[in-house]
Amino acid sequence: MSGCNPINSVFSTSFFLRLEEEQYFALAIRQGWPELTQWLSAVETRAYAYNDFDVPLHPSEIRHIAKSIAKWTHRNLSSAGFSSWQAEQGRKGGLIGGKVSRGGGRPSKKQDQLEMVLELKSKGYNNRAIADDLGISAGSVSNWLRNLKS
């Protein structure tokens, strides 16, 4: 992407991941599988609410991300598809990434965050800026980077 601001690109990725965590398909089920226009409106509303960065993303970027999520979820998720997904989760029976989950909860997002930490660090960001952008402590950033060197 020529002319792409790398800082906005990182914010966009972070923003997209935050929206993705919402699992919009669960909301769609509660709403009775709305038409795409209704669905886009709901996703866009949530997207604008999440645009709380120190330097907010441009409205056109918010609309683009929301439209991408809405179109993908509307095209790829259905009530039958959701039932299949639930069945698949049940078949896993506590197996997460090939390992038995000790806590029984969701898998840690640490790996995804660690990848973002490494990307931002390679672009010259300091630990405090990385921590603020990702919503984690600067100590976590320092510890993760130190442990990688070991």
Give the mean pLDDT per block of 10 residues along the chain (150 residues): 47 66 55 76 82 81 84 72 66 53 59 81 85 84 84
Crossing angle for the helix pair 6-20 and 36-50, to the nearest 10 degrees: 120
pLDDT of residue 3: 46
Domain of 48, CATH number, reads 1.10.340.50
Amino acid in the structure at residue 44: E
Burial category of 6 from C-beta neighbours within 10 Å (exposed 0-12, middle 13-18, buried 19 and up): exposed
Residue 65 lies in a domain: yes
Question: Strand 95-96 to strand 99-100: parallel, antiparallel, or no bridges (unpaired)?
Answer: antiparallel
Residue 122 lies in a domain: yes
**Would the pTM of this model clear 0.75, i.e. be above it?**
no
Last residue of a domain, one of 56, 76, 96: 76
At 96, which helix (H) or strand (E)?
strand 95-96
**Alpha-carbon gap, residue 26 to 41, rounded angstroms:** 16
Number of compact structural domains in the chain: 2
Last residue of a domain, one of 24, 56, 76: 76
Residue 96 lies in a domain: no
pLDDT of residue 1: 42
**Structural domain boundaries enclosing 48:** 1-76
pLDDT of residue 36: 82
Q: Do residues 125 and 117 make contact, with C-beta atoms less than 8 angstroms apart?
A: no
DSSP-based three-state secondary structure for 100: strand
pLDDT of residue 119: 83
**Alpha-carbon gap, residue 56 to 48, rounded angstroms:** 10
